[in-house]
Every structure is written in structure tokens, then in C-alpha cells.
Amino acid sequence: MPVRITRLLSAALIGAGFSTAVLAAATQSLTWRGDVVTANSVVKGVAKAWQASGHGPVQMQPFNTASGLDAVAGGSADIAGSARPSSGSATDSGLNFTPVAWDGLVLVTSQSNPVSNLTLQQVHDIYFGKITNWKQLGGNDAPIDVFAVASPGDGVEYSLRKLVFGRGSQPVAAPRLYVNTTQLEQSVALDPRAFGVTTLSSVAGNGKIKMLHIDGTTPSTAAVASGAYPLFVPLYLVTNPSSPNAAAAKAFVDFALSDKGAAALRSHSLVPYQAGSNLIAMDDSRRSHILAEVGAHASAEPTQIASAPSRTAVAPAVAAARAATPAAPALAKVSGTVVAAPQPSSLKGVRGDAFTQMAAAERGSFAKVTSDAYVSHGKVSVAKAAEKADGKANKVESKKKIASANSKPAQTYRVEAGETLYSIARRHGVDVAQIRSWNHLKDNTVRTGQVLRIGSR
């Protein structure tokens, strides 16, 4: 065979192989896991546009920030979503955090609450336990029910605390904690005394929730884009350069930064990251202004945002240590109980609830805080959950306790004013999941006067 023909055939075969590889990468399925804010505001829209452009499907597993970062670091997911930059932890250090959009952190309450505006100082003091009654803010004479999402597992909480306290790990006076912002928003809508943080993209257009103005500025996409609204933050897509699917994951991130991706982001009340060069430029001065307003100091945690828009992964550097942060309130006598189901390969059907109860008089020092958290997957039995929590050594004892609890005679209880499903469960020594099951409840909402069965038949 002539040499020229041989070379042509070789080139054709190599080209065919390259085309097959490109096609395989383009149609490859990706797994995304992370916080619900990034899921609903970033990934849903971008993934739809991605598939419409001929790419493969994106399996979404929304839960919280920590679960997404752990999954990408461990190889069970290709991309994570996060409302915070790298924390500098061992898990985060090997990952690439790429900012793709700007969102606003919004303080929310029920639509029935007459308070509409807060200062940055008031936001700080509510979370720090100095302001505890809506009357102090010009509202009704009623306690402020501060709701929060467990931090640092949640990027929204981490980012807000970083802005108003100078560090994302700052403890706050939150009587009730939730696993993610979706559950927090649902509770805020039902409680006229509620107060919590979520994002503009998550609640824009939600008529059941009131977004509070900050220093007279209304939260809006335009106010975020201009920097007039001070509580703006980047949302990140996170990848692992060591992952077998690293190339395909990076291609998805690049698509999110493309014109098609930007259009999808704008449709979800977000500002594309590359359209916010002014926000990057003003970030340091904005943070300094907020901390000066509330009398706090920045810590050595990472705070820097990428210096210029880029389609390459951005790993925020750790900021130089500044003035020392005031000593954190004591967390003496903290006790906690966690019941968690085994980590599933898919998070479909996962439900999580967490809460912290504390007397109002104790909020200033955060002392004697007690907390309980419950996470269940599908129909995981109470016995299995308890065994996981207690360890293999206590399997027999756990089964005996659960058998005893399940053998209680049928009982009923009438819900009193101000009670929650959690407080009722604690009072009667049963699991929240059991009460939901016995009463066929779809969620954790109970109403005054409602009769609940609190024992097995």
C-alpha cells in the first residue's frame, strides 16, 4: 500500500476515534449535589439549556452544601453547588470553586409581620441575641423566632455570618435550626414572628414571604447588580480536578459561564458572574463597611473573590489576618443528639429536620444549648437509624429501647398554643418521624387544638 494512502487511513482512524471521544464526553451523564439554593437557581436552568444544546443529562441531588462538597471530594458526584467559597478545610482544599453567578442574601419574615426594614446593626444584633423582640424594631410586642440553617454545612448561613460577623463559623442565637433553606422558608411563611436568611433567587415572587429591606434598600436583581444592596454573594460550582469525569464537569461549568448559561441564570433572578465586575472591584470595601457598621472585625477565614471574571476554576485565597475577632460567646454545656440514615446513592426522598431550643434569657451567652437533629431517607426504620447512631456495639440495647417505645399503649394529645411537633415529641419521649407516621402527616406543621396520636396502637 502506498505510503500516502497509509497515512491518510491512519489520520482517518485517529480522527474517527477523536470524534467518538468528543461525542462520548458531550453526551456523558453528570451527577450534581449541593445546596438547594444553587440547585433551584443555577443548576436547573443551566442543566436544561445544557441538554438542549445536545449534552447528556444532569442528575440532581439537592440537599445542602456540606453533602455536595463531600460527595465531589469522595467521587460520588461530579459537581457540587455552594453559596460560599472554599473554607480552607481539608475537604475544600483539593476542589476547584468556580463563581458562576451573583445572588443576594435576604432576611425574611412572614408577610403578616409589620416590620419591613432593618439596619445592618439590627441584623447583627438579632443573630447575636441582643435584640429578641419585634417591638424593639417597631413591630408587635412578640419574641423574634430566629430560624437558621446549620452552619458551616450551609453556604448561605456561612456567607451571611462572614459578612456581618467577620467569620462564617460565628455561633448565633438561633432557637431552631434546619437542614436547608427550603424547610426554613416553609416555616417562615407560617410564623408571623419568624426571622431567617435565604437568597433572593430562592424567594423572589414568593407571596408568602416578606423580604426585609436593608438600610432602606429593597432586595432586587438590579440592586444586587449595581452593588446598592450590600448583602450580595457569589454562587459557586465546585469540581474535583482528580475526578475521572473532570473534563466533562469542567465543560458544564464553562457552559454555565457562556452566553447560553448567562441567559439561564438571568431567568432565575441571578446576575451572571462575569457581568458583575463592579461587584468584584468593590468587594473589599463593601465588607469593611459592613463590619465597621456593626463593630466587628474580619477573621483569617477566606474572604477574597476572584480578581477578574474567568472561565477557569477559582480557588479563593485565604485573606491576611486582620484585627482579632472578639471572643465568641461561650458554648458551655452544649449537648446534642443526631439520628441519621445511611448515606444513600441517591438523595431522592431524603428529609431532614434539625432544631435547637434555648431559653430567651440564655441567648446572650449561648449557654446550656440543647439540640436534636433528625435525618431520614425514604422509609428507613427507626431501628436502623438508631443502630447507625449508637454504633454496632449498642445494637441490642437500641432494639430493646425501640421495641419498648413501639409497645406503648395508644395515646392522644391536644396541641397547645405555641407548641411544635418537636416540642411535643420531646415531651412524650418519642421520635418526630413516629408522630408523623402515626398521624399521616405530610410535614412537621401542627395547629393549635389538633389531636395527635403519640403512641403506637
State residue 438 phi and psi, 5-degree precision: -65, -30
- Calpha distance 283→230 (Å, rounded): 10
Reported in sequence order, the residue ranges of 240-282 that DSSP labels E, i.e. its strands, are 271-272
HEC string for 200-244: HHHHCCCCCEEECEECCECCCHHHHHHCCCCCEEEEEEEECCCCC
| DSSP conformational letter for 55 | P
**Cell numbers found for residue 189:** 411563611
Res 373: pLDDT: 40
Cα–Cα distance list, 380 to 49, 141, 350 (Å): 36, 43, 10
* Percentage of the residues of the chain whose pLDDT score is greater than 70: 68
Lowest mean pLDDT among 206-210, 238-242, 391-395: 391-395
- Calpha distance 207→189 (Å, rounded): 9
What value does the mean pLDDT of the chain take? 76
Q: Which of 353, 380, 369, 381 is nearest to 445 (CA)?
A: 353
| Amino acid making up residue 98 | T
Res 343: pLDDT: 38
Domains defined for the chain, CATH in brackets: 3-102+233-294 (3.40.190.10), 103-228 (3.40.190.10), 381-457 (3.10.350.10)
Res 65: pLDDT: 87
Q: What is the pLDDT of residues 395-428, one digit of tens each?
A: 444 444 444 444 444 588 988 876 777 678 767 7
Res 312: pLDDT: 36
106, 219 contact by CB (below 8 A): yes
Cα–Cα distance list, 26 to 13, 136, 200, 245, 343 (Å): 20, 57, 32, 12, 29
Q: What is the pLDDT of residues 298-338, one digit of tens each?
A: 876 544 444 333 433 333 322 322 233 333 344 333 333 33
